[in-house]
Amino acid sequence: MRIVPQLRIAQLAFAALAGVFTTGAAQDRWQITLHDGSILWDLELERLSGDTLVFRPAQGGHALHLPVMGVDALRLVQKSEKRQFAPDGQGTGNALMGGADMIWQLTLLDKDERLKVLQEVLRAYPPDST
């Protein structure tokens, strides 16, 4: 009979720990694919400054500047959480593999077109003010 109260205490402790890890969970993050094919991960977009995209690493740090002609793709990596509605767990893989991510491919666009797309992205997904 003592196992049941101990199990309940363990469940409550686990729920409290889970709350710590999910409360204030990371917001949506950005990923930039550069013209040379390299990828910059875990970014926060800030603004456009002329023909330059301004962003910073999500962990903090100094703002970085990148000419828009150096950006070939922009991906919004949306936070996801597993919720199992069906007993077989279908649908989890799609979220974990980026199935819900938004991607803007800029490779074939000229500078003015890239600026327009980036302005629309920043308008639709404004930087977090905190």
Distance of CA 64 to the CA centre of its chain: 18
Containing 123, the helix (H) or strand (E) segment is helix 111-124
State pLDDT tens for residues 92-130: 554 444 557 899 999 999 999 999 999 999 999 998 755
Residues 6+ apart with CB under 8 A from 59: 42
Higher pLDDT, 19 or 40: 40
Tell which wins on pLDDT, 91 or 108.
108
**pLDDT tens for each residue of 42-71:** 999 999 999 999 999 988 889 999 999 999
Report the pLDDT value the prediction gives residue 4, as an integer from 0 to 100. Answer: 47
Q: How far apart, in whole angstroms, are the C-alpha atoms of residue 94 and residue 78?
A: 12
Closest CA to 28 of 118, 115, 125, 117: 125
* 16 close to 57: Cβ distance less than 8 angstroms: no
With a cut of 60, say whether residue 26 has pLDDT above it. Answer: no
d(CA 127, CA 122): 7
Closest CA to 66 of 86, 51, 80, 46: 51
